[in-house]
Structures are given as structure tokens and as C-alpha cells.
């Protein structure tokens, strides 16, 4: 009996149409964790016709490296990856290659407003405390206000 049937005993009756979940911090502990075990179960679900939807704040390359690139075959058409907090949605073609289904990129004006908002928060906090804050500008459609810049890879809570 395969892991999928053990984990989802009613799967052969196909009660599940879609399973959606967050990636790092939920499906896997972090972006460096070994995802082979969960990949095997999720791939079996896809073979049963279940849609798997990964929803994450990270970028596609992280999820692809850790998970999606391990899946190949026609069942991969049942995999969707929503990245960058919903700014991008990926599916896969008949060759298991990623296809961008949706992409929302902030306009120049929106990016300017995001910069201004982040800089105002930084100035406000730094002027009222003994805290030094960094702003990470290279995030799609958002800015990261880093309250502990010396903490390079904080654990997910």
C-alpha cells in the first residue's frame, strides 16, 4: 500500500478535489529541508487527480528547487504554485515545464509608494528607539522592513 493511501484512505473514492497549503514553515520546516517524503505523497495525490496548490510568500525558484522539480509526468498538470504572496501563479505544461499563468507586477508609481511607506516606517521607529532597521527593496510587490537585520535566516514561527 502506498503512502498516499495510508495518509488518505478514502482517496480511491476521490473525495478530495484540491489540497492547498503554505510551503515553508508549514509543508516543510524551512527552505533547506529535504522535501522528498512530502513530494512522494503529493505526487501520488496528483496521480489520483487531486489538484495540489502551494501558496507561499517565497519565490518560484525556492519551491521549484525543493519540490516541483522532483515531480515529472502528465500528472504534474495538477500542480499549481502561487508565489510572492499571490503575485505569480505557475502551472506546468505537458513536458512538466513551468508556465506562468498569472503575474502581477507593481507599477512604477506603486513601487514608489511602497518605498515611501517603508522608509517612513523605518524613520518613525529609528527616531523613537535605539533600533537600526534595514529595508529590503528587492521583493516583488512589497518591501521587507527588517527589524533584526543581523539575523540572516530567522526560523519560521
Report pLDDT digits (tens) over 58-112.
Answer: 999 999 999 999 999 999 999 999 999 989 999 999 999 999 999 999 999 999 9
Predicted confidence at residue 73, as pLDDT, reads: 97
Is the pLDDT confidence value at 1 over 50? Answer: no
- Domain 3-103 is in which class? alpha beta
For a pLDDT cut of 70, what percent of the chain falls above it?
87
Asked whether 131 and 139 are in contact (CB, 8 A), the reply is no
What predicted TM-score, i.e. pTM, was given to this entire model? 0.80
Is the pLDDT confidence value at 20 over 90? Answer: yes
Q: How far is CA 148 from CA 110, 120, 142, 151, in A?
A: 26, 17, 18, 6
For a pLDDT cut of 90, what percent of the chain falls above it?
73
Asked whether 27 and 56 are in contact (CB, 8 A), the reply is no
Instruction: For residues 54 and 23, give the distance between their C-alpha atoms in angstroms, rounded to a whole number.
Output: 6
* SS3 (DSSP) at 87: coil
Predicted confidence at residue 152, as pLDDT, reads: 75
The pLDDT of 12-39, averaged and rounded, is 87
Domain boundaries, the chain: 3-103, 108-146
Helix (H) or strand (E) run with residue 20 in it: strand 18-22
Asked whether 55 and 21 are in contact (CB, 8 A), the reply is yes
Amino acid at each position: 500500500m502506498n503512502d498516499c493511501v495510508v495518509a488518505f484512505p478514502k482517496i480511491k473514492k476521490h473525495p478530495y478535489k484540491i489540497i492547498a497549503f503554505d510551503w515553508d514553515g508549514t509543508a516543510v520546516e524551512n527552505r533547506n529541508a529535504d522535501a522528498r517524503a512530502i513530494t512522494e505523497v503529493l505526487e501520488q495525490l496528483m496521480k489520483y487527480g487531486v489538484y495540489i496548490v502551494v501558496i507561499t510568500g517565497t519565490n518560484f525558484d525556492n519551491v521549484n528547487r525543493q519540490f516541483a522539480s522532483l515531480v515529472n509526468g502528465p500528472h504534474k498538470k495538477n500542480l499549481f504554485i502561487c508565489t510572492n504572496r499571490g503575485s505569480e501563479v505557475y502551472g506546468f505544461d505537458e513536458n512538466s515545464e513551468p508556465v506562468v499563468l498569472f503575474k502581477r507586477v507593481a507599477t512604477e508609481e506603486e513601487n514608489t509608494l511602497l518605498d515611501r511607506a517603508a522608509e517612513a516606517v523605518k524613520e518613525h521607529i529609528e527616531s523613537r528607539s535605539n533600533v537600526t532597521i534595514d529595508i529590503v527593496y528587492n521583493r516583488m510587490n512589497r518591501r521587507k522592513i527588517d527589524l533584526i537585520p543581523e539575523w540572516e535566516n530567522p526560523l519560521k514561527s
